[in-house]
Structure 1
Amino acid sequence: MGVCDGSSPTVHKLDMRVFREMIAMAIIEHDLPYSFVEYRRIRMALAYANSTIKFWSRNTAAADVLKIFEKEKNKLREILTNVPNRVCLTTDLWRAITIEGYLCLTAHYIDTDWNLKSKILSFTAFPPPHSGIAIAMKLIELLKEWGLEKKVFCLTVDNASANDSMQSIMKRQLEKDLVCNGEFFHVRCSAHILNLIVQDGLDVIGGALQKIRDSVKFVKGSESREIMFANAMETVGMQAKEGLILDVVTRWNSTYHMLSRAIKFKDVLRNLADVEPSYKSFPSDLEWSRGELICEFLRPFSEMTNLISGSSYPTANLYFMQVWKIECWLRVHEYSADETICQMVEIMKLKFDKYWEEYSDILAIAAVFDPRLKFTCLEYCFTTLDSSTSKFRLAHVRSKMYKLFKAYKKRPSINSTSSSQVETLEEDIPAGYSGFYAFFSQKAGSSGKSELDIYLGEPTLDMVAFRHLNVLAYWKENSSRFKELSSMACDVLSIPITTVAAESSFSIGSRVLDKYRSSLIPQNVQALICTRNWLRGFPEEGEEEEEEKEKEKEKEKEEA
């Protein structure tokens, strides 16, 4: 409220349509319940701020969110229609707290400004059976709904058996519209494979690992134990901002973080064991020593997982080198002095060879599209592993790359964008030089070298000088020189090598559909999750954890 002439109060007249849309946006962005608009204290505060507000119900709030969802969906559909290249897909299934199944489909593409984008296309209820054919038919239905059935490049999925049959069915259904008849369509989630490999290794050290896990559980089991742990820290003279963390057993990466944190507090836990008789799970010196070895062993795997799990930058070009590092690491530790480490490596190598005996061709090609790597990197990696087969493996990848490039030279543009780019290029020719440009183009074309030949023939960029090179920026700058090749690079570099985007959406889903909001209908769940993603994108690595930490800090301040 304000005072106009010192006597009569004035009230700002609200545009209720705009105000309701702002509240709907807040519900979407901050995971608020629809009933937020009916909270008595919220209504009292809003009425105090402006008495002209006309309040509405939770059902109207849900309808407002659906309107925003439809509006944003139409915007995204138009963007995807105008994207000059193809889109890559990831999909995964999730079981909500309500036991309903949900299917998430995410599109990954490079926009007209050469920025990598990831957008959820659908987060839809998907009841059993979750068979390969049922998933395939649902995905094709969604692709047709979005008008993308002719623009798909590849599909990244985890190693569930249903996904193998699903991708095979989809490939047959979309074959005539896929590049090279779908030869490069199926991509396995590298993070999921990595998880399977490490979990097999961790089974070998179950005893030592369980002792450390039980120690963390003991401390975090009650407030009084956490106070005792804090007292033990004072006794040993240790100060730390971060405490112990418990892992999620099915996610090895969290096990690594639990181990690394627990090892720092080894002396504190020892002191706690001395003063607290009920704490019986303190590991022996040998078990701590083994835990330290395992932690050091897993560190590179954790770093690789963090690197390849980004969603805002290309990761396809990083894949080959990271998998090579894993194989090298396994070979180095194959004859470790610790017998348990040897057993771990032996089991992990069996799983590694099963999935990565031959690194994915399309992702080896992605490494070549990094101008700092090209075939020189592949040659180095293949030679260091087995010099006797390196030439054959290089020739294999080279033949696949030329086969793919041939498809890009033949294919017509999947929309009209590229033709307008050519017209713009012709208009940019300086006055009086059109004849020379035509002569120059003809000479260049008659050299017998393709764009791929020219690119591969140019020197590899120095890794140190171009350490922070933006690979997409390179191809954007060279798109006028390499028209078909840059289009091919655009599609290949947009391949997601993990399904981390889907897992991130499930994390959001668990907040939207928690035990307090389990009655939300699937239509509203999809509207909330998709619209939030379209407006905010996916959280980057560690962003969600930081948000939770900030909330905890605010809560502590309020309680104080």
Structure 2
Amino acid sequence: MCIVRHGLPFNFVEYKWVRELLSYINFDVTHVSRNTLVSSFLKLYGEMKEKLKYAIHKSHFVDNNWKLNSKILAFCKLEPPHTGEDLANKVFEVLTEWEIDRKIFSITLDNASANDRMQELLGEQLRLQNSLLCDGEFLHVRCCAHVLNLIVQDGLKVAEVVLQKTRDSIKYVRASESRKIVFTECIAQVRGIDTKVGLRLDVPTRWNSTYIMLESALRYRRAFASFTIRDRKYKCCPSNEEWKRAEKLCEFFKPFYKMTNLISGTSYPTSNEYFMQVWKIEWLLRETLKCDDPVLQNMAVLMMEKFGKYWSDYNVILSIAMILDPQMKLEALRFYYSKLDASTCDEKINNIKEKMYKLFDEYVSVKSSSSTASSSQQPTVEEDFSIEENQEMDDPYNEYINYVSQNVNVNGKSELDLYLAETLLEPKFFPKLDILSYWRDRQECYPNLCKLACEVLSIPITNVASESTFSIGARVLNKYRASLLPSNVQALILTQNWINGFEDIDEINGDVEKEEEVVLDFTVHDSNV
């Protein structure tokens, strides 16, 4: 367990001083070899894999305690070329291995062309199995963080001159120890600069680091001006006008930076929070289009074009997630859509409402059918079913009665009708409401809608979680452990992930399996998937 948790090499148990320490602690200790350790570790990995596989059949992401979870299911080697076909085959292989190929609800991807092709092929395969709700209409979810990065990067092209001068200035100052000393003297000379935040250099492909760079450079603008006088070779200092432009850029991009932090943090929100973040983006861009600054206007135009490409109608399934928030529902969608464009508000609301009813009706129908089939195909002695009762369960008319009894109350209204008719929760609960606890407490009133809420609310809005897995992979497979087999790399990464927070799975109880849809967060990096 220590080897897994701390990323130690397998031959750690063969180190001389480690063995002496263990012998000192317990003179009866039996030392094991690297091969014995690997064998024991793979046995542990296999046991935990079976345990997690069983847990997934009970529930996934939202567990029996109504807590949002995340588990890595695969970290496997994928030889190039990384075509959409290869990716689709590998993902389907993983789904089949984990026996969840008939339980997929959605898949979250970044916008790589190979990923687009992959989800098309994977969708086709899953449709052949008739295992997608609404024929896969809600299968593909784009990574919010990735799309936001693309949108902002388009806007930053307009301000490339001031950004490059800022970048070059920081590089110049940090290029030698003597320049750092002179710049420190300039800071002391001009006074009043808060040096708690140092100069930051950005990674151009990650726009939020560009914002941090710009914000930090603005703190030192007077020091840069003084440095120009002290070092005549320094030629890339932004002008006063360019510094003013940088201030406006920081002010404009600050809300986008906050959004990026929210959706890319280590604590991932339920999907009902997605709609508001997208709406903020569109609102800010529309407001900027009205401003008097031509540079900001041009920036907003470019960003609006990219926004329209990916989020013109937002993602319907995540608008549905907002409706499942009892503080929001359809009233919130109507309010925010009308602020953007009152003339198209009703049309958008009706479209989303229609799709939500379609999803709910099909969900209930599928779950009811699978429940009936499960009951009829797997009778036990304890259930004490008679032959006549089993025949009645196979009767299509009785199946319809079962569906109606689950979906419609005595007044002819469905669970969804009743939920939407309920009064909104008072604003005083906002934003402390635990939405999963809300649905947990309403399982008796809305048994089917609660299950659907679990699946929709657990949709990951970003693949940052899977991206972070590759960072872990780089620490596991480093220059000191470059000879590890791909299967051992996967076992190490997965076991480490499962150990953390795995206690919740131990609490799963009950004899009847609860079939749930699975949402996937997926990305490709180098030679792994």
| TM bucket normalised to smaller | 0.7 to 0.9
The aligned residue for residue 441 of structure 2 is 477
Offset at residue 223 of structure 1 (A): 4.8
User: Which of 154, 161, 164 is matched with 1:200 structurally?
Assistant: 154
Deviating more after overlay: 224-233 vs 291-300 = 224-233
> Which runs of structure 2 are paired with 1:129-168 in the superposition (5 Å)?
129-168=81-120
Matched to 1:260, the amino acid is: E
Cα RMSD, aligned residues only: 2.5
Matched, 1:288 2:256: no
The aligned residue for residue 75 of structure 1 is 51
Q: Per-residue CA shift, 1:230-273, capped at 9, x if unaligned?
A: 44443325443332222221111111122222222323333344
Offset at residue 536 of structure 1 (A): 2.5
Matched, 1:458 2:427: no
Cα distance in 1 between the residues matched to 2:36 and 2:334: 62
Cα distance in 2 between the residues matched to 1:40 and 1:215: 51
The aligned residue for residue 303 of structure 1 is 258
Q: Per-residue CA shift, 1:206-247, capped at 9, x if unaligned?
A: 111111112232344445544444444433254433322222
Name the CA shift for 1:331/1:530 in 2 (closer, same or farther; >3 Å): same
Matched to 2:224, the amino acid is: L
* TM-score normalised by L of structure 1: 0.78
SS where residue 467 of structure 1 aligns? coil
Does the 8 Å CA contact 1:37/1:43 hold for their aligned counterparts?
A: yes
Cα distance in 2 between the residues matched to 1:310 and 1:518: 30
Offset at residue 516 of structure 1 (A): 3.2
Offset at residue 53 of structure 1 (A): 4.2
Name the CA shift for 1:222/1:67 in 2 (closer, same or farther; >3 Å): farther
Cα distance in 2 between the residues matched to 1:524 and 1:272: 53
Cα distance in 1 between the residues matched to 2:244 and 2:230: 23
Cα distance in 2 between the residues matched to 1:219 and 1:532: 42
Cα distance in 2 between the residues matched to 1:32 and 1:216: 38
Q: Per-residue CA shift, 1:72-108, capped at 9, x if unaligned?
A: 212211110222xxx6xxxxxxxxxxxxxxxxxxxxx
Cα distance in 1 between the residues matched to 2:30 and 2:181: 50
Does the 8 Å CA contact 1:130/1:162 hold for their aligned counterparts?
A: yes
Does the 8 Å CA contact 1:82/1:415 hold for their aligned counterparts?
A: no
Matched to 1:139, the amino acid is: V
Structure 1 unaligned blocks of 5 or more: 1-24, 88-108, 420-440, 539-560
Q: Per-residue CA shift, 1:287-319, capped at 9, x if unaligned?
A: 221122111111111111222235645431111
Matched to 1:150, the amino acid is: R
Deviating more after overlay: 471-480 vs 304-313 = 304-313
Does the 8 Å CA contact 2:193/2:219 hold for their aligned counterparts?
A: no
Name the CA shift for 1:54/1:237 in 2 (closer, same or farther; >3 Å): farther
The aligned residue for residue 260 of structure 1 is 215
Matched, 1:533 2:497: yes
Q: Per-residue CA shift, 1:172-221, capped at 9, x if unaligned?
A: 21121111221111111111111111111112211111111122323444
SS where residue 125 of structure 1 aligns? coil
The aligned residue for residue 118 of structure 1 is 70
Cα distance in 1 between the residues matched to 2:25 and 2:183: 48
Deviating more after overlay: 210-219 vs 323-332 = 210-219
Does the 8 Å CA contact 1:273/1:282 hold for their aligned counterparts?
A: yes
Cα distance in 2 between the residues matched to 1:379 and 1:171: 32
Runs of 4+ in 1 over 6 A off after TM superposition: none
* TM-score normalised by L of structure 2: 0.82
The aligned residue for residue 467 of structure 2 is 503
Does the 8 Å CA contact 1:116/1:312 hold for their aligned counterparts?
A: no
Offset at residue 464 of structure 1 (A): 3.8
Matched to 2:272, the amino acid is: N
User: Which of 402, 409, 425 is matched with 1:445 structurally?
Assistant: 409
Offset at residue 146 of structure 1 (A): 0.6
Offset at residue 506 of structure 1 (A): 1.2
Identity %: 49
Q: Per-residue CA shift, 1:9-59, capped at 9, x if unaligned?
A: xxxxxxxxxxxxxxxx22322233334334444445444444444444444
SS where residue 81 of structure 2 aligns? coil
Cα distance in 1 between the residues matched to 2:87 and 2:419: 40
> Which runs of structure 2 are paired with 1:51-62 in the superposition (5 Å)?
51-62=27-38
The aligned residue for residue 137 of structure 2 is 183
Q: How many residue pairs were aligned?
A: 467
User: Which of 468, 475, 479 is matched with 1:515 structurally?
Assistant: 479
Name the CA shift for 1:161/1:383 in 2 (closer, same or farther; >3 Å): same
Matched to 2:108, the amino acid is: T
Matched to 1:307, the amino acid is: L
Offset at residue 372 of structure 1 (A): 0.8
Cα distance in 2 between the residues matched to 1:119 and 1:524: 18
Does the 8 Å CA contact 1:374/1:456 hold for their aligned counterparts?
A: yes
Cα distance in 1 between the residues matched to 2:201 and 2:234: 17
Structure 2 unaligned blocks of 5 or more: 376-404, 503-529
The aligned residue for residue 13 of structure 1 is none
Name the CA shift for 1:153/1:268 in 2 (closer, same or farther; >3 Å): same
Does the 8 Å CA contact 1:156/1:497 hold for their aligned counterparts?
A: yes
